Amino acid sequence: MVNSYARIAGIVLAFWSVTDLCNQTVCHGSEPSVPARRVLVIGIDGVRPDALENANTPAIDKLIAAGSFTKNTKILGNRYCENETISGPGWSSFLTGVWADKHGVHDNTFRGRNYDAYPHFFVYLKRKFPNAVTGSFVDWEPIDTYIVRDADVREVRPASNKNSLEQKDEILAEAAVQFLTRQDPHAVFVYFGQVDEVGHQDGFHPSVPSYLQAIQTVDLHIASLIGAIQSRPDHVQENWLIIISTDHGGRGRKHRGGHDVPEIVTTFLVVSGDEAMKGEIQEPSYIVDVPVIALTHLGVPIEGAWQLDGKAVGIRQEFRNDQ
């Protein structure tokens, strides 16, 4: 009888060992079902690089010191640049890694969108790592309605909510902090909208106090997100990369029709983490680079069939995919 119990216990132990292994890998092979590294992508709508420099942003400054940075990232490409310099095409390029002739979005109507062929980068992540946990936190509703695909958690502050974007940003930041703290995410996108809202109200310029204050408020939210990552017991082994950029700058109180306006088409890029380069990014950079950087860090090989326009900048050469 004792031997029978021992055999049964051994079978149960073996079953749970196999089950645990299958939770970590795809059961029909040895390919991991989750990435070994993690990424947080932060989009701050409507930030001019010169305003970012003037603002008091200790959280972003620390990320820059621990990684790579450029204030010469372009929102339009050399190959194609016919879309409007506004958020619909901007965030589409930022999240899909292709220009508007591919993703199809040229303005804020989102007519012609082609995200089935050129999807949000979460889709590529899920194809490679089906058990990767993803989250999207946005308060410009069209991003959630049209662009975000395959996110396990989607938090959105709808336009029907009468709170200001400053208030919505705060709510979203707290939701993202809880997600980073209590769940086990591999890729997270957080969008903050208040800087663009203030720019339209008071002006996109580093001399506008309210515009700088909006950037500084977002920096406090970023500090909270960083704190949430650092509170994770295994955050060092998780090897987080943090990427921050924007969809456009601005001049006066607008950014539409800015194809030939440097203050509108020139933005910034922060890439921070152990695998990031250190110092200024010297090579040309574009907003379509953001998802390629994220996917490369996560260990997703970039396939030529995807026809991505971006490339992996700001991370050390040994960690880049061959493209």
Beta strand 266-272 with 240-245 is: antiparallel
* pLDDT score for 159: 79
The two structure tokens encoding residue 255: 């950014």
Percent of the chain topping pLDDT 90: 85
Q: Is the pLDDT of residue 23 over 80?
A: no
* pLDDT score for 322: 43
Domain check: are 187 and 99 in the same one?
A: yes
Domain check: are 21 and 137 in the same one?
A: no
Domain check: are 100 and 6 in the same one?
A: no
* pLDDT score for 150: 78
Domain check: are 172 and 24 in the same one?
A: no
Domain count for the chain: 2
pLDDT, tens digit, 9 for 90 and up, residues 73-115: 999 999 999 999 999 999 999 999 999 999 999 999 999 999 9
Note if the pTM is more than 0.85: yes
What number is the average pLDDT over the span 242-255?
A: 98
pLDDT, tens digit, 9 for 90 and up, residues 110-166: 999 999 999 999 999 999 999 999 999 999 999 999 999 779 999 998 878 878 999
Q: Is the pLDDT of residue 14 over 60?
A: no
Domain check: are 7 and 65 in the same one?
A: no
Domain check: are 10 and 155 in the same one?
A: no
Q: Is the pLDDT of residue 25 over 60?
A: no
Dist. CA 108–CA 243, nearest whole Å: 24
Domain check: are 26 and 115 in the same one?
A: no
Buried b (16+ CB within 10 A) or exposed e, 218-234: bbebbbbbbebbeebee
Domain check: are 238 and 224 in the same one?
A: yes
Domain check: are 9 and 103 in the same one?
A: no
**Which residue range forms the structural domain that includes residue 21?**
1-31
What number is the average pLDDT over the span 208-235?
A: 98
Domain check: are 53 and 17 in the same one?
A: no
Domain check: are 52 and 19 in the same one?
A: no
CATH number at 201 reads 3.40.720.10
Domain check: are 12 and 115 in the same one?
A: no
